[in-house]
Structures are given as structure tokens and as C-alpha cells.
Structure 1
Amino acid sequence: MTAGPPVLPAPELEPVPATASTARTIGWPRAVLRTSRPRQWPKNLLVFAAPVAGADRGRVVGLEPALIAFAVFTLASCAVYFVNDVVDAERDRGHPAKRSRPVACGDLAERHALLVAAGCVLLALAGSALVGSAGLSFCLAGYLAMSFLYSGTLKHLPVLELTMVASGFVLRALGGAAAARVAPSGWFVLVCSLGALLVAVAKRYTELAGLGPAAAAHRPSLRHYTPAGLRAAQRGIGVATIGAYLGWAVLNGSPWAVDCHLLTAIPLAGALLRFDWLTGRAELGRVEDLITRDRVMLACELLWLVLFIAGTT
């Protein structure tokens, strides 16, 4: 990924003044809910990855503490969104999509956003303590620290910011493993890491492709990437993800489940190919929507799940 051509000035987009919200206020509770990004909460389902992957003949261990871990990381991620929107409020006001965020448009006061963030952090820490897992507490603390550092400064550093985004996904998976008392294998961590990095690279590509020359004005790190470089990186990581998954299926699964686990690589490869195609067509869209709303993607995911369950029963 190399530096691209000189960045052109961002087009003049009329900021949305905070006072304008008085004429179209959406209400404080709804503003809080919107800022917490409910559509992003499914990311936290990664806490169930290790318990499910470690299932033995249909028996999933540690499901109850994993449910608490899901709530813990949902609260923690909400706290990060509130802080991030306060930090980026001025820049978001010039973004064609993000300008409507409650903090940016004035529907949610910055002070209130920070107070809600603090409350979410306290609740997340309390939930972690309830599980009684040092590993979960460590993953939660690491997630919060890295996310707040990312929101403050690290998001502007190319490549490093991609690894920071990917690390957030991996820490969710490791936190779920710690809560369920399931020891994750090296193959499991590698698959999670590559998959998370794949999503992070795809997100940057859609931003760069959708915003064009104005992209760097909204996310300075984008001036160091090129669309071709990001696409090549995404495809290379996709191939590596399949390779790591095959390694997990052969070397880490129960001997009686190897055949079914190998079969699950087929719908996984189909999903990655479909994801690559959808990413190439996306413009300012949420990458998460490509995974959860496309019918072909959903069909591949359902087939993967059916085959995986068959391999654990």
C-alpha cells in the first residue's frame, strides 16, 4: 500500500449547526440509542466463537458466561462509540453520512455522551467481575484501552490503525474464550486475526472508493492507501484466511469431525468471494451490512452453520 496521488481539497459541505437540532430534535433516549449503534452489536457475537468451535459432540461448554461476555463487550463497544463521536464531532459535520450522527448534529450534547460512556464502562467492568474470569477482564481492559487510544490519535496512523481495528475483533473472541474457560488454539487465533484484518481492510476500501478525493479530509490515514493496494491486500488476506481455516480443520478439530470441518471451508470460501465482489460495489456502505443483509452471503453463512453443527453432533 503506497501513497496515492496528491489529495484534492474536500468539497464544501455545509456543516449542520448544533442549534439546528432544536427544530428536529429526535429526543434524548433515541439520540442515545442511535449513538450506541445497535446495528453494530452483532459484532460482539464473536464471544461465542471459541465455545462453539470447542464444542464436543454437540455439547457447548461455558454458554452462560459467554452470554455475560456478550453483554460486557456490547456495553464496552457502546462506550467507545460515544467517545469516538465526541472526538470526531467536528469532522463528522462535514461528512455526507456521518453528519447526521446525534453528537455531530447537536441532538446529543457532548457532555451527555461522555457521561453515558462512563456508565457503560462501569457496567461492563461490573459484568466482567461477575463472571470471575481474569482473562475476560484482561481482554476487556485491553479492548477499552486500545479503542480509546485509537479514537484519540492512533486512527490517523496508516497500517497501525488497521491492526487496531482488527485487534478489537480478536479481543472479543479471546474474551469469550476466557469467559467460557475454553483454551483457544493458535489456529483459532490466526483465523480470527486474519478474518478481522480482512474486514478492516474492506472498510477502508469502501470509504476510499465512496468518498474519492475527499476521503483524506474525513480520515487522514486514507491518504496513504490506494484502492488497488487495498483490494490486493483484501484478496491476499482472504486466501490466507482460507489456508488458516483449513489448518484449523485438519490439525485442531476432533478426528471424527475433520471431514465435516473441511466441508465447511466450501461455504466459507463462497462467502469470502461474495464479500470481495460486494466490497468492490460498495459506496459509503457499512461493511457489516454486506455480511448480514445480502442473500447469497446469508445462504453461505447458513450452509456453513449447518455443516459445522453436523460436525459437532
Structure 2
Amino acid sequence: MHRCIKKNTISERDTGCAHFSCASSWAIRIVVILLLAGSTAWAYAATPPSNFPEGRRIIIEEGSSLREIASDLKERDIIRSSLFFEFLVRLLSEDTGVRAGTYFFENGVFSLDLAKHLTRGIFGLDPTRVLIPEGATTREIALVMQHKFPDFDATRFLELAKDKEGYLFPDTYFFLPNTKPEQVIQEMRSNFDRQMADLLDDIASSTKSLHEIVTLASLLEKEAIVSRERKIISGIIQNRLDIDMPLQIDATFRYILGKGSFDLTREDLRHESPYNTYINKGLPPGPIANPGMDSILAAMHPEKTSYFYYLHDRRGRIFYSKDFEGHKRNKFAYLR
């Protein structure tokens, strides 16, 4: 009797499962490898380059496209991948916008943090204290700003401020290093308006317009330092205005010629300019500086005296006289 022996055989179904299991295993391995490669690439692209310009300012120019910005950042070793940075910016900002300005990074930053700073305008800058002295001209203000901030556009500032002389209030300000000329002018002019708000009633009752008050105050700012002297000189100017007498104020020559009293020549005194108060009667057409509050108040409230003349000696002392004869005596006594 023959016994049937059942052979061990693998069915087609089992063979398919084995092949599927093997393929799945390889697929998982590939996915894992891709994930690891992707995460490695992501991590590499996200980290700052080893030669990131630490402790330096990064300037994003106005009007630059995202692609131009990303390419420039890569060239300057601020990011590793321009495409990755563009992706992050688009992810963080609906309008894919990067805010123009000057940014500061003490240390290298990851691309994600960089994208956050640039899309949200986090400049990483601390305000700098800037003192604008009383009596500073717009040109002098430009020099102060440029000294504090080497990248400040002084030329642009002067273009915008050419009709603002007298109305940029001298004070202590706090500006960011990336402050634009427009912002400086706006802040200083707004400060002027705030200061004038308390004087509106006095200005309204004055015989002078605000422009005349500011113009006169700018002269006083240059002619005297002490409040009492400013008020006396303000009264002298008013006495001369009342009788239509030329003001003959030397301070205007520093504004138009850059010369002080002791440098002037007879030819300078005949210099053709609407600011020359030797050949033109009345106040000059506009301020010659940006006066402080003390000079503005002195212009509004002059001290009444019988003086018509005054002069400064070389030590800055002021001597007054009622008439030309007295003035000549003072010149002989104090200007020899």
C-alpha cells in the first residue's frame, strides 16, 4: 500500500505576499532615507553659514524683489539657500513682503528667525540719543545726524528740509540707526507743533504772525545766549522795526556767507541777498536757524527799552546804547 506523502509547497498567494513584504520593506527604507536626507538638507539650509557677518548691519533696499533679496543674502553669506529663504518668507507673509530698512544681528541667526525679522520689521536696533542744540540750522542738523548715523542720507534730508528752517524744534530725540530723513523731519516738525500748541492764544493776540515770530526768534538765538539779553535785543529790534530802520544784524551773514561779525568786510555788508538786513529793511524773509522755546518767548515778549544799538566784544559781552553816538563810543571802547 502506497502512502501519499504531501510535499511542502509555497502557494502563488504566499509568494505574492513575500514579494509584497519585501517591496514594502524597501519602500519604508527609501522613505526613511528620503526623510533623513530631507531633514538633513532642511537643517543645513536653516542654519546660518559659518561666516555669517556677526555684529554687522544688514541693509534691505527699498523696492527690491524677494528673489533679489534672497540672492543678495546668499551672496553675503547670511543664508545658505535662497530658495529655502524665499519659501520661508512666503510661508510667513501673505504678501511675500520683506520690510526695507537696516537690520542688526549680534550673532548668526537661523533662516526662519531671519525671515521672521525681515517680514515683521524687527530691526534689532536700539534707539540712539540725539541732541539737536537750540539755534541749529538745517545744515547743522544734517551734520549731527550724519555723525551719529554714518548711513544717514544728509543730502536727501537737506532737500526735504529746505523750506523747514525754523520749524524743526531743537530737542533731545531718540532715533533708530535706520531712521529715514522723512522720519526725522516729521518728528521734529511734530514736536514744534506740540510746543506751539500752548502758545496759540499768545500768538493769536500778537501783532506778528507765527512766521515772523519764528524768524525773529532765530535772530535772537544767534545774537544772545542769556534769556534777559534776548529780551532786550528783541526790544531793540522792535524799536527799529517801529521806525522802519534797518536791523543791521550780523548773524544773517553767517547764514548766507558763513562769516561772523569779526570776519565781515565792507563788501560783505553790500552783499545782495534778501537776508542782508543792512540793505533791506524789516525782518529777513525767513528764519536763519531753528530757535528754542526761550528765544521764541523773547520774540513774543520783548523788553521795552530806549536802546537802538548793541554790539558784542570779542569775549561775547553785549553793550547797549540809545543812539549812534553812544554806539560809536562803545565801538571805540570795546572793539579796539
TM-score by length of 1: 0.29
Which structure has more strand as a fraction of its residues? 2
Which structure has more helix as a fraction of its residues? 1
Q: Which has the higher contact order (CA 8 A, sep 6+)?
A: 1
